[in-house]
Amino acid sequence: MELPVLYTKKEVCRIIKCSRSEIDRIILRGDLAYDYKRGTVALFKEETIINYLESIKVNLA
């Protein structure tokens, strides 16, 4: 089983080229799990996640 990679909000923003407020909205909507204690997002396979997050980002507009 593949282990997730931990990313900060800043790294996720860099990967999908969006603002921190957009990431916060995605987290608050429950589309992305965020560990507030560690300040990280756990993601699997970067390419798959980029596609998923970009689709969420489009739905925010």
pTM exceeding the 0.85 threshold for the entire prediction: no
In the predicted structure, residue 29 carries a pLDDT above the cut 70: yes
Side by side, which strands form the sheet with 40-43? 5-7, 40-43, 34-35
In the predicted structure, residue 50 carries a pLDDT above the cut 80: no
Q: Please give the Cα distance from 33 to 21 (Å, whole number).
A: 15
Q: Please give the Cα distance from 46 to 27 (Å, whole number).
A: 18
Higher pLDDT, residue 24 or 1: 24
Q: What is the pLDDT of residue 48?
A: 67
Enumerate the domain spans of the chain.
5-60
